[in-house]
Chains A and B, each alone.
Chain A
Amino acid sequence: MSTRLSEIVVDCREPVAMARWWGETLGWSASTTGLGEQLLRPAASDDTTPALLFDTVPEPKQSKNRVHLDLASQSPDDQRELVDRLVARGATRADIGQTGTPWVVLADPEGNEFCVLDRATSTSASAGSRASRSTPPIPSPWRPSGSRRPAGRSARRIPAR
């Protein structure tokens, strides 16, 4: 028995703006949940990728995020073009101590760090890591087959204090 990763929940100040920005970035569609959050879903044909759910919290971002996204690209050239497009749309380059890494660290309009990889998949890229990332990946299924898409009613968030 296992459980499925339904969504990644993002605390933010401006959920509508954040959902718009990430929706344009990923090509995903946004909707409003019954709790007033913004839900971004991948294409209907994608029944495996978790959704992104943006909710409102009063507190500002205080430190480097411990959970972040890695965005894929097809090549180093594609990576450069993607980074340029994201920066033109409001992303900023983030310096979190990375040097000489093949990935580029950016921050979204609310300062959330994310990485743009120089390849389609990664076993060696992440924001903020100074540790060696050369350990071979170990396949470990964490999602059962046959799971269904997340539903709009499944919007959940950790409430702010």
Chain B
Amino acid sequence: MLFPPGRGAPDLGLVQVDDSKTVKLRWHLDVQPVAGTSIEEESERLRTLGAVDIDIGQHDDPAVDWIVLADPAGNEFCVIPPL
């Protein structure tokens, strides 16, 4: 379990399962760098932690201004621009 600091926010539980990931996640996480950090900078930090770039067609959509990565287990997530 990952617990956020403070109270109220949901925990994030990581559960071992037997089945393999076969399709794009239907529910995924968006993460947002803290103010003053760009999505490129944050994505580079996440890559050093093991995230990888993935192409799920986002480059075909001009509205996409976020970066799509996958965690070490292949789970897609987005790094969205800071406020």
Q: What's the Cα separation between A64 and B2 when bound, in Å?
A: 22
Report Cα–Cα, A105/B41, bound state, in Å.
39
List the A side residues contacting B18 at CB < 8 Å.
130
From A146, which residue of chain B is reached at the shortest CB distance? B34
Identify which of B60, B76, B78 gathers the most chain A CB atoms within 10 Å of its CB.
B78
**Interface of A, helix, strand, loop or mixed by DSSP:** loop
Number of interface residues of B (CB under 8 A): 52
Interface of B is mostly: loop
A49 touches B26 (CB 8 A): no
Knowing that A122-B11, A129-B15 touch, tell me 20 more A-B residue pairs with CB under 8 angstroms. Answer: A3-B32, A6-B32, A8-B29, A11-B24, A50-B9, A50-B30, A62-B22, A63-B19, A63-B22, A65-B26, A67-B26, A129-B17, A130-B17, A130-B18, A140-B3, A147-B34, A154-B32, A154-B83, A159-B56, A159-B60
A: residues with CB less than 8 A from B are: 1-11, 35, 46, 48-50, 53, 61-70, 112, 121-123, 126, 128-131, 133, 137-148, 150-151, 154, 156-161
